[in-house]
Amino acid sequence: MSAQARTRVGVVGAGNIASIAQLPTLVKRDDVELAALVSRRPDPGALMRRWGFGNAYATVEEMLEAEDLDAVFVLTPRSEHAHAVEACLRRGVDVFCEKPLAPSADEAERLADLADEHGRILMVDFNRRYAPVYVAGREAFGNAGAAFCVAQKNRPGSEYRATFENAIHMVDLLRWYCGGEAAEVTAHTAGEDPWQEDGTAAVIRFDTGSTGVLMAARTAGAWNEKLDAYGAGRSAEVRAPESVAITVDGTTTVRDLSSEAFGWATATETLGFAEAVHHFLDRLADRRQPLTSGRDAVATQRLLERILQSAGLPSGEQEGRQWESHATNTARR
């Protein structure tokens, strides 16, 4: 790809989140061409016209056979991620994939290995690492990271697995804030259905000596996401996506990062969706590994599986169960 050429992008899946987050970001980039779409719709014409796709296909294989692409965004339901990612990597195409990368950590690791074998960029969309409030909070602790970190996410009523689908964001943030990898994990759960638990609480001891605490619930009655981190005479209190308070030796500075402060920005900006897309496109250009690379995403998924195992919950998908979209109402996920 020459310096002047536009990046030819294919998109697999153009549902709710794609239409709220990634596609609006991509169409604003003058250096990106939305060359191809894979859609289940019998007539994807409306999607093509709305976003400016050049061509549409029924399967990822058909798209890869017909198109010369620089990158593919895999934005399908989670059960379909691994198949599409593998097909793209084997054709030598860089991939941006929604989280989680695969149904299991072992499968995710196989895909990370495949990306390395083919010299491809593979990034997983743990968008909270790119959200302004979480970036500001993490910067307060420098390379050492936080000594203690408590991450909590609640989301009421929707049809999804509270820990696997939702709290995985907070598991990833705990790894990022605390540094290192988990040495000890203890977890407990609530609810009668192990495939759709009401919530999970976990304590994670990292090999850096830091401690992380996870709390997630579907029964809190409201969407809520927050993180508190401490260490080395400072603290960060993140109330996503609106604000972060940084205290250093008794002096507190509060930063307003709400939509209003950003000029009526949407969740696409405040929750890190847009910046994640920009980060991926930057990595295509410089060939450096993304912050949330496929390899790093494997470590997050392995920690998640340890939490589920400690809590007595299954780590895979329930055979025959069809989950509704986790994003039927908003981009807050």
Percent of the chain with pLDDT over 70: 89
The predicted-structure confidence for 181-239, as pLDDT tens digits, reads as follows: 999 999 998 877 777 777 899 999 999 999 999 998 888 788 889 999 999 999 999 99
Question: Which is nearest to 257 in space by CA: 246, 265, 248, 247?
Answer: 265
Task: Read off the tokens for 230.
Answer: 């401490």
**Quick one: which of 90, 92, 91, 129 has its CA closest to 110?**
90
**What's the rounded Cα separation, in Å, for the pair 29 and 184?**
44
Q: What is the side-by-side strand order in the sheet with 7-12? A: 55-57, 32-38, 7-12, 71-74, 94-98, 122-125
Task: State pLDDT tens for residues 282-319.
Answer: 999 999 999 999 999 999 999 999 999 999 988 866 66
Count of residues making up the chain: 333
Its pTM stands at 0.92
* Tokens 């927050």 belong to residue: 226
Contact 273, 22 (CB under 8 A): yes
Q: pLDDT tens, 146-158?
A: 999 999 998 776 5
Residue % of the chain over a pLDDT of 90? 75
What's the pLDDT tens digit per position in 23-82? 999 999 999 999 999 999 999 999 999 999 999 999 999 999 999 999 999 999 888 999
Q: What is the pLDDT of residue 258?
A: 75
CATH of domain 128-262: 3.30.360.10
Q: What does the block give as tokens for 240?
A: 């996503």
Three-class secondary structure of residue 180 per DSSP: coil
